[in-house]
Amino acid sequence: MRLVIAVILTVFSLFGYVTAQTAQKSAKVFVLCYHTFHNEKKSQYNFTPDEFKQHIESIKALGYHFISMDDFLAGKFDYPLNVMITIDDGNATIKNIYNSVLKKNGIMPVFFIYPNIIGKKDYALKFDELVWFKNDGVSFGAHGYFHEYVNQKLYDLSVQRFKDEIYKAKDVLEQKLSIPIKVYAYPFGLYSPITIQHMIIAGYKYAFTINWGYVQTPIDQTKKYEIPRYLVETSSWKSIYETLKKHAVPKNK
Ligand SMILES: [Zn+2]
Q: DSSP for 192-236? A: -HHHHHHHHHHT-SEEE---S--EESSP-GGGTTSB--EE--TTT
- Is 90 exceeded by the pLDDT of residue 105? yes
Q: How confident is the model at residue 21 (pLDDT cuts 50, 70, 90)?
A: very low
Q: Strand 139-142 and strand 81-88: pairing?
A: unpaired
pLDDT in tens, 56-84: 999 999 999 999 999 999 999 999 999 99
Domain ranges of the chain: 28-248
How far, in Å, is the centroid of ligand 1 from the Cα of 21? 38
- Cα distance between residue 15 and residue 133, in whole Å: 43
Could you tell me what percentage of the chain is helix, strand and coil, using 3-state DSSP and rounding each to the nearest 5?
45, 15, 35
CB proximity list for 66: less than 8 A, separation 6 or greater: 59, 82, 83, 84, 85, 105, 106, 107, 108
- Is 60 exceeded by the pLDDT of residue 184? yes
pLDDT in tens, 127-159: 999 999 999 999 999 999 999 999 999 999 999
How far, in Å, is the centroid of ligand 1 from the Cα of 19? 42
Give the mean pLDDT of the chain: 92
How far, in Å, is the centroid of ligand 1 from the Cα of 214? 20
How far, in Å, is the centroid of ligand 1 from the Cα of 147? 6
Q: What is the pLDDT of residue 136?
A: 98
Third-level CATH fold of 28-248: TIM Barrel (3.20.20)
How far, in Å, is the centroid of ligand 1 from the Cα of 17? 43
